Chain A
Amino acid sequence: DSGVTQTPKHLITATGQRVTLRCSPRSGDLSVYWYQQSLDQGLQFLIQYYNGEERAKGNILERFSAQQFPDLHSELNLSSLELGDSALYFCASSVGRQPYYEQYFGPGTRLTVT
């Protein structure tokens, strides 16, 4: 158990809809990262927040957005969903903002878009 929690575990929704994925980092961790894992693209970094502020962006689509709240939990919002958005979405946390801090991953949310 990494100490990172994600809800829900599974989500099934239709194309065009909007969903919100939630992540609670490990106690004391200030950075939260979001990753997407699909069969054809592998694990891809989407976005990082550090202490409430956006820190780095990866391959995140404009239809996706995230935020980190004062209690440090984070939400990833996916809108205008397409079939290709079906994937595992992982959240990770680390203690600091620098790349040399190891990241601890949650169990993931499996999103299925039908």
Chain B
Amino acid sequence: DAKTTQPTSMDCAEGRAANLPCNHSTISGNEYVYWYRQIHSQGPQYIIHGLKNNETNEMASLIITEDRKSSTLILPHATLRDTAVYYCIVRLSGGGADGLTFGKGTHLIIQP
């Protein structure tokens, strides 16, 4: 699976959009970009995933650059409950071990 690079921590004001970047410059054509988050000591929570196109669901939007070497997770109106560690994960679409490889993620702190 491709390696990802994320900032260690970020702050965002409550009510503003939180934009979390992720670099995955070695991504290959059949690898998906996934985002999960973990609120302190709870089980990780799936947020969104995509292959090439931008994706949106009720939680967030995922913007993937045209060359697919980076992506941005957008939480449109951050609340205090969005304070968590956010993990960007790149995974093969088929074959190999199926477990997720979590890095250190980005600790997003929403400020009141």
Residues of A within 8 A of B (CB): 2, 4, 31, 33, 35, 42-48, 55-58, 88, 90, 92, 97-100, 102-108, 110
Contact = CB atoms under 8 A, between A and B. Distances in A.
A45 B44 contact: no
Contacts of A100: 32, 49, 91, 93-94
A107 B42 CA distance: 6
A43 B44 contact: yes
Most chain A beta-carbon contacts within 10 A, residue among B46, B101, B103, B104 = B46
A107 B93 contact: no
B112 interface: no
B5 to A, nearest CB: 15
A42 to B, nearest CB: 6
A55 B101 CA distance: 16
B102 A43 contact: yes
Most chain A beta-carbon contacts within 10 A, residue among B41, B44, B46, B98 = B98
Contact of A107 (B43, B46, B99, B101): B43
A90 B36 CA distance: 14
A63 to B, nearest CB: 19
- Looking at chain A's contact residues, is the secondary structure mostly helix, strand, loop, or mixed? strand
- Looking at chain B's contact residues, is the secondary structure mostly helix, strand, loop, or mixed? loop
B8 interface: no
Given A42-B102, A88-B41, A103 B46 contact: yes
Contacts of B32: 99-100
Contact of A102 (B43, B49, B102): B49
Contacts of A48: 97-99
Nearest to B48: A102
12 contacts: A33-B98, A42-B104, A43-B100, A45-B97, A45-B100, A97-B98, A100-B49, A100-B91, A102-B46, A103-B46, A103-B100, A108-B43
Nearest to B46: A102
Contacts of A92: 43-44
A47 B99 CA distance: 7
